[in-house]
Amino acid sequence: MTLALPRQAVRTKHGGRLRPRRRPSPLHLLLVPLSLVMLAPLIWMVLLSISTQEETRRFPPGLPGGVHWQNYVHAWQQGPFGHWLLNSTIVSVTCVLGNLVFCALAGYAFARIPFFGSRVLFVLVLATLMVPFQIVMLPTLIVVRDLHLTDTLGALIAPNLATPFGVFLMRQFFTTVPRELEEAARIDGAGRLRTLVRVLLPLMGPTLATLAVLTFLNVWNDFLWPLIAIQSPGNMTIQMGLQNFQGSHLTNWPVLMAGTVTSQIPVLVLFVIAQRFFVRSIASSGFK
């Protein structure tokens, strides 16, 4: 006969309730090495950014002999680095706002407004998720050319103002919201748009945050579409600008890595701030 030992408990900071203390799980023995493997490219990139050109040619790589912060200064001086960051920020923020507005409206229409062919149209929207971008790249370029947006920031913004995944994510959330909330708003005299803005949108903070982060990551790190739609250096994004650091015969790897680290700082900060919303969004959207 074995006796079950009570779990250790700690007192909360606010109030007097006791909560059991979580002990490390054996699963951490697997998660910790995997996390180190995932962090290895990022750590290597940071080490290369503070190394010299000669130290980057060593194999296996090791710690740099000193910290060479001038690589970051050279990255800013070799091109309009600040202008590229500004272009990427304008394009990414505009696309995020567009997805939050248009995907929320489309998701609400698919979830709550019955109209002829809604299910068929929603399936077609989901089917576009299976189409690689390389297939629709040329038709998209023709549309952008006909709109006279070629070689402008509008060419990067227009195709990303709404995404099928955003419509699907919003629709899944609206299907989980009780209809009684909307009926109560209608009794008070609110229309559909007012109900969406005043009642439903305040409830979908985690979902909106998740869509905003995923859209920002996708647009900020995009390289293929800006490479096709942009020609002038003044309209380049940060990902296109980094390719200017690569020469035909020689690449200054410390400067290139310094520019790459700088370009990823906004993404890392945004992800760290908003990562807690992902689990809430998945739980509230009904994903399995």
Which pLDDT band, with edges at 50, 70 and 90, does 5 fall under? very low
Q: Which amino acid appears at position 65 of this protein?
A: G
Contact at 8 Å (CB) between 75 and 255? yes
Of residues 91 and 267, the one with the higher pLDDT is 91
45, 105, 270 from 201: Cα distances, Å: 40, 11, 21
Contact at 8 Å (CB) between 202 and 139? no
Local structure of residue 20 (DSSP, 8 states): E
Summarised one tens digit per residue, pLDDT across range 194-243 is: 888 888 888 888 889 889 999 999 999 999 999 999 989 889 999 998 88
Summarised one tens digit per residue, pLDDT across range 240-254 is: 988 888 766 678 888
Residue 223 CB neighbour total at 10 angstroms: 13
What pTM was computed for the model?
0.81
Distance from C-alpha of 166 to C-alpha of 282, rounded to nearest angstrom: 13
Average the pLDDT over 119-133 and give the result. 91
Distance from C-alpha of 195 to C-alpha of 4, rounded to nearest angstrom: 52
Which pLDDT band, with edges at 50, 70 and 90, does 92 fall under? very high
Helix axes 253-274, 28-49, angle to 10 degrees: 140
pLDDT at 154: 93
Q: What is the chain's length?
A: 288
Mean pLDDT for the chain overall: 84
